[in-house]
Amino acid sequence: MKKYKHRDLAGGHVQEFFMLLPMFAGFCVFTIYPICWVLRWAWFDYAGYGKAIFIGAENFIRIFTRDGNYWRAITNTFYLAAAKLLIEMPLAITLAFFVNNRVKAASVFRIIYFLPAIFSIAVIGLIFTILFSAYNGIVNAFLIWLGIIRENINWFGGRWIALTVVLMVSLWSTFGLNMMYFLMGLQNIPLELYECATLDGASGSRQFFCITIPLLAPVMQVVFMLSMLGTMRIADLVLVMTNGQPGGTTEVVMTYIFKYFFQYGDAGRISQYGYGSALTVVTGIILAVMTIIYLKHSKRMKEIY
């Protein structure tokens, strides 16, 4: 019996190994290998062809001393991330609270709010680029019809106005998904808590701030993290809408790195895999520091609630 039992256990371990093998292989090919590749070429001057020249920390010195465009891209990224969080989270919570209160046609509102999240970002960017066109865009025509402006606005002609348009489009495409997260959190709050608070004479606003918000804290932490990291990695929307124009002032960190690996929209630029790898390492460290700070703060919040 012991002999057969030993064989069964061995066979079970072999089966588990083969079940995990495809995922492990994918993890090694698409995660471990690219990380090792980037960490290696960050120390070289390499254009993707020809001989790679080892230059030590020269790429990193260039980032911190001579590449102001990279830090401008970092600033643009943090601007989008901070503005989006400040607007999107209150908006998503408010809409989730509105839909959860059994209003008429609540299911219709859920579909309408969530609908932008299922569209392709490239399609969304193309549509809004046409809408905000400086010469024949619907937005300018509508504002002139209302009498708000007298002449067309070049929405993509300046750094901050172009970033604001990108911010608006990004909000429109993702707020519905975050609203669904908050809606699920609201539906998991026991109704007995609100009934007891009502019997004790608590007003609606007091119930919202003393019951709803504290019990939504875990969901808020998840949404905050996903929104922050998602905005830090934004690339496709910017590439479609502005491509970093005018003059590269609307580049975000991921589009800036992307263009060192691929000659996107700039046939005269030479790919610099070594420098692009160094930019990737520095950006990864920045994101790791932000994640560590968030996790420590999240742990403190869990202790409070």
* CA–CA separation, 42 and 57 (whole Å): 8
**DSSP reduced 3-state for 56:** coil
The Cα–Cα gap between 117 and 120 comes to 8
pLDDT at residue 104 in the model: 67
- The per-residue pLDDT for range 50-97, each reduced to its tens digit, is 788 889 899 999 999 999 999 999 999 999 999 998 999 889 988 888
| Mean pLDDT per 10-residue segment, the chain (305 residues) | 51 74 88 90 84 89 92 94 90 86 71 84 91 90 89 90 93 89 88 85 83 86 84 88 88 91 66 90 91 78 55
Contacts of 103 (CB under 8 A, 6+ apart): 109
Helix (H) / strand (E) element for 17: namely helix 2-27
**pLDDT tens digit string along 149-172?**
888 999 998 999 999 999 999 999
User: What does the pLDDT read at residue 252?
Assistant: 93
